[in-house]
């Protein structure tokens, strides 16, 4: 176990293929209390185990492609839609598995996961009652509904980051501060960013901006 702990997921899997005893070590839950992923594609690989032993999970995608995922759906061209369709549900489906199989999760960090919704976080908070740290960065679909879920099911939560989540509002943040005074809340830029608008609202704004201005 000590030797395996120095290896990345691919190396662990390769080493486990060399003999039955090393395969047993690979399957030991003690080896899988922490998982770090650097792209949605890594979530589909068969080089890790998911179970009750998992306590620390991080999915951080810093690729330039993240920008495509953060474009409003109604503004994407066909190429951008095709790109997103390939992995749109990858992280959400994975988090659904985590919420069902990892009740002892203590910490979750998501960065650049533009397709993760409030429903995913709601389910995690509900099924992982020991969650103490929740860090969300540049997750465009996260809204005040997630903050409301924190007030309802985040009884163990002590750290909450919602940085660069443009659909978070100041009202939602104030509600968390009021109802969860023990939570260390950070929301860098979130409430100050321009939120998404539904197509109907966007059209109204465009028409208003075309009105002539007298100088």
- What's the CA gap between 37 and 57, in Å, rounded? 8
Domain shared by 151 and 60, yes or no: yes
pLDDT, position 8:
95
pLDDT, position 86:
87
Domain shared by 174 and 69, yes or no: yes
pLDDT, position 59:
97
pTM reported for the whole predicted model: 0.87
Domain shared by 3 and 75, yes or no: no
Residue 180 contacts residue 125 (beta carbons within 8 Å): no
- What's the CA gap between 89 and 87, in Å, rounded? 6
What are 36-94's pLDDT values in tens digits? 999 999 999 999 999 999 999 999 999 888 888 888 888 888 988 898 888 889 999 99
Token digits for 110?
């998501």
pLDDT, position 84:
87
Domain shared by 39 and 27, yes or no: no
CA nearest to 117, candidates 177, 170, 69, 189: 69
**What total number of domains does the chain contain?**
2
Q: CA 152 → CA 9, 78, 87, 183, 215, distances in Å?
A: 35, 39, 30, 13, 52
- What's the CA gap between 193 and 63, in Å, rounded? 21
pLDDT, position 18:
96
Buried b (16+ CB within 10 A) or exposed e, 171-190: ebbebbeeebeebebebeeb
- What's the CA gap between 57 and 103, in Å, rounded? 12
Token digits for 202?
């966007």
Residue 110 is part of a domain; what is its CATH number? 3.80.10
pLDDT, position 198:
65
Domain shared by 138 and 105, yes or no: yes
Domain shared by 89 and 19, yes or no: no
Domain shared by 173 and 89, yes or no: yes
Q: Which residues of the chain carry a pLDDT beneath 50?
A: 203-215
In a domain, 203, yes or no: no
Residue 23's domain spans which residues?
1-31
In a domain, 199, yes or no: no
In a domain, 200, yes or no: no
Domain shared by 65 and 13, yes or no: no
């Amino acid at each position: 176990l000590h030797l395996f702990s120095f290896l990345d997921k691919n190396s662990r899997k390769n080493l486990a293929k060399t003999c039955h005893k090393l395969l047993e070590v690979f399957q030991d839950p003690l080896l899988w209390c922490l998982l770090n992923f650097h792209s949605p594609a890594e979530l589909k690989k068969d080089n890790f185990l998911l179970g009750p032993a998992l306590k620390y999970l991080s999915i951080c995608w810093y690729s330039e492609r993240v920008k495509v995922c953060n474009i409003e759906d109604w503004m994407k061209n066909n190429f951008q839609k095709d790109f997103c369709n390939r992995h749109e549900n990858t992280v959400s489906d994975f988090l659904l598995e985590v919420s069902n199989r990892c009740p002892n999760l203590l910490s979750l960090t998501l960065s650049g996961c533009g397709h993760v919704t409030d429903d995913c976080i709601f389910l995690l908070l509900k099924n992982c009652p020991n969650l103490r740290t929740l860090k969300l960065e540049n997750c465009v679909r996260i809204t005040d509904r997630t903050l409301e879920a924190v007030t309802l099911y985040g009884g163990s939560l002590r750290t909450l980051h919602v940085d660069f989540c443009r659909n978070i509002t100041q009202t939602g943040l104030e509600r968390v501060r009021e109802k969860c005074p023990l939570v260390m809340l950070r929301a860098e830029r979130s409430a100050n960013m321009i939120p998404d608008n539904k197509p109907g609202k966007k059209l109204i704004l465009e028409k208003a901006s075309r009105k002539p201005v007298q100088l």
